[in-house]
A and B are shown apart, each in its own frame.
Chain A
Amino acid sequence: RKEVEQDPGPFNVPEGATVAFNCTYSNSASQSFFWYRQDCRKEPKLLMSVYSSGNEDGRFTAQLNRASQYISLLIRDSKLSDSATYLCVVINNAGNMLTFGGGTRLMVKP
């Protein structure tokens, strides 16, 4: 089993839709979690951290479920510009190693 797994998609949704991605991780002692966004042929850029209590940034909501060992990203009112690949990232319990998921591709259509 991979340490961090994501559904590769693509998720094809219409503009204005709500879409959610999950990311599962295998190390129950993992400490920190992030979502990155990667546009085609570009470097990943930090989208948001994921806090234990859940957190929201505009149309984006991130949640952590430690019992089931997954994090989620919810995007409300999808925009065309949200089309990208979303990578989840898990930091180990020692706090010194990141592991990336394979990414979920989102395509928002008019």
Chain B
Amino acid sequence: DGGITQSPKYLFRKEGQNVTLSCEQNLNHDAMYWYRQDPGQGLRLIYYSQIVNDFQKGDIAEGYSVSREKKESFPLTVTSAQKNPTAFYLCASSIVRASNQPQHFGDGTRLSIL
């Protein structure tokens, strides 16, 4: 089945630690995105990538880093500089330059501070 896989489902971070969230897609989509969602809030864009080896900051990129070495993979690292990392993190993908195509989401990673 084609889709987006995020792992782990739950993640705990110790103070001062960097953690990496995985996102893999087999939909052959060019564009991938990372969002953060806080309780009762909408989605906020962290980073996005429209092509391999290229990515752009979203609205709340501080304290996060990404890489796009392969088309199917877009891992997100939550660094120790992100002081309030507890949130629901969603990865999405879409066909770039096809404006009538929606994004497809993974089922998310919940990150908490220990």
Interface residues of A (CB under 8 A from B): 6, 8, 31-32, 34, 36, 41-46, 49, 87, 89, 91, 94-103
Q: Which of A6, A42, A95 has the most B CB atoms < 10 Å from its CB?
A: A95
Number of interface residues of B (CB under 8 A): 26
Which residues does chain A contribute within 8 Å of B53, judged by CB atoms?
none
* In the complex, B96 has a CB within 8 A of chain A: yes
Q: Give Cα distance in the complex from A91 to B31, angstroms.
A: 13
The answer to whether A96 and B97 touch across the interface, beta carbons within 8 angstroms, is yes
Q: Give Cα distance in the complex from A99 to B35, angstroms.
A: 11
The answer to whether A34 and B42 touch (CB under 8 A), given A43-B90, A43-B107, A43-B108, is: no
The answer to whether A95 and B102 touch across the interface, beta carbons within 8 angstroms, is no
The answer to whether A46 and B43 touch (CB under 8 A), given A96-B50, A96-B97, is: no
The answer to whether B99 and A32 touch across the interface, beta carbons within 8 angstroms, is yes
The answer to whether A89 and B99 touch (CB under 8 A), given A43-B107, A44-B43, A100-B42, is: no
The answer to whether B42 and A101 touch across the interface, beta carbons within 8 angstroms, is yes
Question: In chain B, residues 77-114, which have Cβ atoms closer than 8 Å to a Cβ of chain A?
Answer: 88, 90, 94, 96-100, 102-108, 110
Q: Give Cα distance in the complex from A102 to B31, angstroms.
A: 22
Chain A nearest Cβ from B110, distance in angstroms: 8
The answer to whether B31 and A96 touch across the interface, beta carbons within 8 angstroms, is yes
The answer to whether A96 and B96 touch (CB under 8 A), given A43-B105, A44-B90, A45-B105, is: yes
